[in-house]
Amino acid sequence: MGTVVIEDLSLRVHVGVTDRERSRKQRILVSVEIDREVRPGEIGDRIEGAIDYSEVRSGIAGLVESASFNLIETIAERIALSLRGRYTERGAGVIRVTVKKFPYRDARCVAYRMSL
């Protein structure tokens, strides 16, 4: 078993429940983990045998930055479903997505984490 990890990908997105929140893009951080069943030597030091981090990153950015959301929960779900659809054939197992946003001065962040 191996896990592909991208931690705290910084994106700008329209997100929030109120019009005021959605009126300007806010910074969010997205982390993903993609578990993958691999046997020793299976990847073979070839990108074709791996899940390409750059492809995962650009797919997430394209999905999130081009849309508007009410909830960070929806962002996490859409990312997880997109990754599941794209990487199941490449052996993806459990996919974990965490989305953080920063609406309060007295808290480091608010976050939603899901597994699919």
Res 94: pLDDT: 97
What pLDDT does residue 115 have? 97
- What CATH code is carried by the domain that includes residue 87? 3.30.1130.10
φ and ψ at residue 80, rounded to 5 degrees: -60, -45
Domain count, the chain: 1
H helical segments located in 1-44: 19-22
> 41 lies in which domain range?
2-115
Low-confidence ranges of the chain (pLDDT < 70): none
What is the per-residue pLDDT for 114? Answer: 98
The pLDDT value given to residue 5: 98
Residue 70 tokens, joined = 């009410």
pLDDT at 1: 85
pTM: 0.93
